[in-house]
Amino acid sequence: MSNRLTAPRPDQPVLEGPYFSRVWFDFVSRVTAILSGRQPLQLAEYTVATVPTASRWRGCIIAVSDDAGGYCTAVSDGTIWRRSYDNAEVST
């Protein structure tokens, strides 16, 4: 089983028979493992040029692979993405 959390794909027939039970169980098991701390949470990774619009993701955290200070995590304040370690705007 992959460590990456993925919801069932739209083309997966999750509402039919025993397949639904397995897909749903796998999904819930992964969510539970992450929330309980038994499995690390993998952040979505972006470059500075491809970070999503900060206003749409206020309060969310991402990984930035090519920030001026190197690989870092960043948090949206609703206006810009700020590096977690010094609160500065992510930049190249």
Task: Read off the pLDDT of residues 26-46 as tens digits, 9 standing for 90 and up.
Answer: 888 888 988 898 888 889 999
Instruction: Give the integer Cα–Cα distance in Å for 27 and 78.
Output: 30
* Total-model pTM: 0.66
Q: What angle do CA 60, 62, 64 make, to 5 degrees?
A: 150
| Helix then strand then coil, % of the chain, to nearest 5 | 30, 20, 50
User: In the chain, which residues have pLDDT < 70?
Assistant: 1-20, 92
Per-residue pLDDT, 23 = 78
Per-residue pLDDT, 77 = 96
Per-residue pLDDT, 21 = 72
Assigned token pair, 33? 């493992």
Per-residue pLDDT, 78 = 95
Helix (H, G, I), strand (E, B) or coil at 32: helix
